[in-house]
Structure 1
Amino acid sequence: MREIDFTQEKLAERMGVTQGAVGHWLRAEREPKLHMINQILVEVGFGPLQIGAAVQMRENSAVYGDTVHPTAMTGADGHTHELYYCYPIVSWALIDELPVATTWPRQSSDYATQARGFWLRVEGDAMTAPVGLSVPEGMLILIDTGLAAEPGKLLIVREAPNAVAIFRQLIEEGGQRYLKPLNPTYPKTLFTEQTQVLGVVVQALMKF
């Protein structure tokens, strides 16, 4: 902080805490939680810490990151820390054929998927809306394959066997379910028994 002329007052303002709290941390009188430590590191020009937790893993968890995640863990210091999870950023063409995780870029999230989890980068403008909910091209979306498809949810689906996967919102009108683009210039289509749900979108992230 001295080297970059970053004062306690400035750090407190960025962190949304009092200067007294920052002083306690720097004098080792109190310990901030892990997510606060990561924010401090980012504010002073470092990357966030990367941690891993030992959890019960299922088959293929090394590839997909799918596990029954706890939402927090108790560290050696006796304090409870929030956990973050890393999922692979996957090509649309390889949703069903994910290679070894170490060969793919990964993105962290505080969301613990119920089953296999992965990120996709939105392609095209079918889910770009002029008003309201909009998920534009280039945004990263986190997919949870363990959730049920319910009206209102954003889904990754195939409308027929061997078809290209698409990103749509599931809606219900007059007792019939449809796959609706958020862009009103695209038509909605029927959600049928042949529609294969590949996962539910649970988070979106814009990277610049």
Structure 2
Amino acid sequence: MDKWIELVKAKMSELKVTQVVLGERVGMSQGGIGHWLNKRREPGVTEMNKVLKALGMDFLEVAVVIREPQVDADDEMPLAQKYNPYFRYPVSDWSVPSEVRESEPAYSGAKDKRRFELTGYHAPGGAAFWLMVSGNSMTAPSGQSIAEGMLILVDPAAEAVPGKLVIAQWPDSDEAIFRKLVEEGGQRYLVPLNPTWPKALFTDECRIIGVVVEATARF
């Protein structure tokens, strides 16, 4: 609770949002918001998530988690991750992964109909998103392999260096592609993990949308 209050107060100060305005966004009175922030009353999980969304932090989600206590009390884990070890990011469409992540999260009174998935990965900028793998270009007969139907988490803020799996897009293409960034002889290539697919020369015109930081399978 204390960490949630600290996080909310910091964001309200950053956005210059008053208790009155925040109350209007979540359907509460200014007094009710004040009771929460001053620990006179404790909001439920649903109310806590409404406040996060109202402050543009809907990439975070308060959840009840049963886990073993942390052994090391002197860690330097970010505040948001200490309070909430799980983060939710939207599942995007392959045809528009760049466009959907270029706009900052904003408060909306309408119900968000996008699909979200949880992960323990914390994207500092909050702009990560999921994609579902289509096709077999990244399915390898041995070693690293990402099969069709798996969900991959893309972080636009992560550094795209050789050896990383990336999402890239050429200006004349309507859709992005999933490949491994490889450097050979001073030149970079976008290489599929499936050896039957051809590799492509990485040029200045090609845009790296983000780095794949996690892959999961659903059964």
TM-score band, normalised by shorter chain: 0.5 to 0.7
- Alpha-carbon distance in structure 1 between the residues aligned to 2:135 and 2:181: 18
Say if 1:155 and 1:168, in contact at 8 Å, map to a contact too: yes
- Given that residues 153 and 201 in structure 1 are in contact (C-alpha distance below 8 angstroms), is that contact kept between their aligned partners in structure 2? yes
CA-to-aligned-CA distance 1:117-170 (integer Å, 9 cap, x gap): 110000000000000000000000001011121001000001334442000000
Say yes or no: does 1:114 pair with 2:124. yes
For residues 19-34 of structure 1, the aligned pairs below 5 Å read: none
Which amino acid in structure 1 is aligned with residue 124 of structure 2?
Q
CA-to-aligned-CA distance 1:31-54 (integer Å, 9 cap, x gap): xxxxxxxxxxxxxxxxxx988597
Aligned to 2:98: 96
- Where structure 1 has 5 or more consecutive residues not aligned to the other structure, the ranges are 1-48, 74-81
Gaps of at least 5 residues in structure 2 are 1-44, 61-77, 102-107
* TM-score after normalising by structure 1: 0.62
Q: Answer yes or no: is the 8 Å Cα contact 1:90–1:119 preserved in 2.
A: yes
What stretches of structure 1 move > 6 A for 4+ residues in a row? none
Corresponding residue for 1:193?
204
Taking every aligned residue pair, what percent have the same amino acid on both sides? 40
Q: By percentage of residues, which structure has more strand?
A: 1
Structure 2: distance between partners of 1:169 and 1:94? 20
Who is 1:156 aligned against? 167
The normalised TM-score by structure 2 is: 0.59
What is the identity, as a one-letter code, of the residue corresponding to 2:113? T
- Code of the residue aligned with 1:198 in structure 2: it is I
Shift of 1:203: 0.4
Aligned-pair RMSD on alpha carbons?
3.1
How far apart, CA to CA, are the structure 2 residues paired with 1:61 and 1:195?
31
Determine the structure 2 residue equivalent to 1:16.
Answer: none
Compute the displacement of 1:70 (Å).
2.9
> In 2 relative to 1, CA 83–195 (structure 1 residues): closer, same or farther, beyond 3 Å?
same
- The 5 A counterparts of 1:34-113 are 52=49, 62=58, 65=59, 70-73=80-83, 83-98=85-100, 102-113=112-123
**8 Å contact kept, 2:190–2:202:** yes
